[in-house]
Amino acid sequence: MPLLDALGLDLERRPDAPLHRQLYDRLVDGIAAGAIKPGEKLPSTRDLAQFLGVSRNTIMLAFEHLTAEGFLEGQSGSGTYVAREPPSKAATPAPARINPALRAAGTLDRSFACGSGFADVPATLRHMRRPVPFRSNFPAVDAFPVQVWAKLAADIYRKMSPELAGELMGEGDPQGYAPLRAAIVEHVTLGRGLVCRPENVVVFAGAQHAVDLACRILLTEGETAWCEDPGYDGAYASVTAAGARPVAVPVDADGLDVAAGVARAPDARLAYVSPSKQFPLGMSLSLERRRALLDWASRADAWILEDDYDAEFRYAGRPLPALHALDREGRVIYLGTFSKTLFPGLRLGFAIVPDALVEAFVAARSVTGRYSPMLEQALVARFMSEGHFASHVRRMRKLYAQRQTHLLDALARRLSDWMTPEPTDTGMEIVARLRPGLSARRVAAAAIQEGLELMPLSALAREAEVDDLLTIGFSAFSAEQMDEGVETLRTVLVRLDQTPRAN
């Protein structure tokens, strides 16, 4: 390893600079200085991890950043090389060069936000999310039927008549591609028990886009909105960005505590909920609570955003009926996403909107991105109408159940001294309870130094005391990746046991 010896890659475990970012910096500096030449082959991730004494995940994460930014290039079956024409160092914003004060605060400096509500967007929403163990809510892109997808895409282009070209390559409908909206209606009718028409569907660039637009439409400055606590940080951010005030409503074993919400903000205009599988704790909203929530919305003349982000992946029995299926007054806006069922890079989601709100949602959609890319919408429509979507979801249910079982076994064998995982019958991640005295934030901070990604639930909480809980994702990872990740996490936990906590 003469090349690496010359660079002096002495990585340090520091809270302000994760190991993968330090490695990124050293390699960028080496390339910029000419110490690492264009076209030069780098050691394998396994050899480099062994040489530096860090997790292989750390090396892979740094290499992914460097490849995405043009410094490295992979050659199938050969290895990883320095790009023949790497970008100049000055033109490339390295991920390590973020103001430490801003990273510590977790929010944008208000001087950059021009006084808007976007100053409070949490850091958890702003970083690019990579499928490194144990990232939560990341689908198994390794198991996606790429060949089927490619064949459908080729077929669309091959049969592109002038009429179809005008439809797919010209201006799009802000409400969404009509065949896709029809396919969505068939899916939610059969799978989720909804009663709706294609006219009620609006296509968005993911569910977060729909949450943001709903908050802008339904909330005015100074109004309040219920958000689950702990709960989805994107909902809090969207409420704040709309000029409204999010009210943290606790959850328990039955889901959102409607009585607590009424006590805290009886006149709230909006409630954001994830009733099929509460994010991040995982329970379902009980039937009694569902009815109570609908009754409150009726009395308060309020709206409900139902985020059904991963209900398709239920391993035991059929998915639970959606809250929308119980709505008789048109107060529920149902949100779905293809980022979880297909892949995140697609950036397609949808809302099932009550008749009274369709015009407002389509108008708002027409000025926020105008419309989603038509060819991608056509591809998803074909994928669904020809039965590939349903087949893919069935395969993923089976695969995720297997991967969860493997993770639970590995955790029981190697980490039972530190944590107790709670199995789930839905979704892509589990919640683990740490033994007394261990902080989930501290564990997560130490794990990221080794290329792992764990989510401490306290990062998603406003008032709830959940610093002994963290989420561990399993859906995107092979058995080998999970085994290696568990061993790395064991090393982290052993080290934490030997490190005195700061006063």
Pick the CATH number of 144-390 from 3.40.50.1100, 3.40.50.300, 3.40.640.10, 1.20.1740.10: 3.40.640.10
Pick the CATH number of 2-91 from 1.10.10.10, 3.10.129.10, 3.90.1150.220, 3.30.70.2610: 1.10.10.10
**Cβ(373)–Cβ(171) under 8 Å?**
no
Sequence spans of domains, the chain: 2-91, 144-390
Which residues, in sequence order, are bridge partners of residue 431?
Answer: 422, 471
Which residues, in sequence order, are bridge partners of residue 352?
Answer: 201, 334
- 229 three-class SS: strand
- 297 three-class SS: helix
Query: In degrees, to the nearest 5, what angle opens at C-alpha 144 toward C-alphas 138 and 146?
Result: 135
Cis before residue 280, ω within 30 degrees of 0? Answer: yes
Tell me the CA distances in angstroms from 338 to 256, 342, 349, 416, 444, one per residue in order. Answer: 25, 5, 6, 35, 28
Per-residue pLDDT of the chain (503 residues; tens, 9 = 90+): 556 555 556 667 665 667 777 888 888 888 887 778 888 888 888 888 877 777 787 887 788 778 877 888 877 667 888 888 888 655 444 443 333 332 333 333 433 344 455 555 565 555 555 668 899 989 999 999 999 999 999 999 888 888 777 778 878 899 999 999 999 999 999 888 899 999 999 999 999 999 999 999 999 999 999 999 999 999 999 999 999 999 999 999 999 999 999 999 999 999 999 999 999 999 999 999 999 999 999 999 999 999 998 888 988 766 678 999 999 999 999 999 999 999 999 999 999 999 999 999 999 999 888 889 889 999 999 999 999 999 999 999 999 999 999 999 999 999 999 999 999 999 999 999 999 999 999 999 999 888 899 999 999 999 999 999 999 999 999 999 999 999 999 999 999 987 655 54
Query: What is the distance, to the nearest Å, from the Cα of residue 417 to the centroid of all Cα atoms in its chain?
Result: 29
pLDDT attached to residue 95: 40
Instruction: Note the pTM of the prediction, 2 decimals.
Output: 0.78
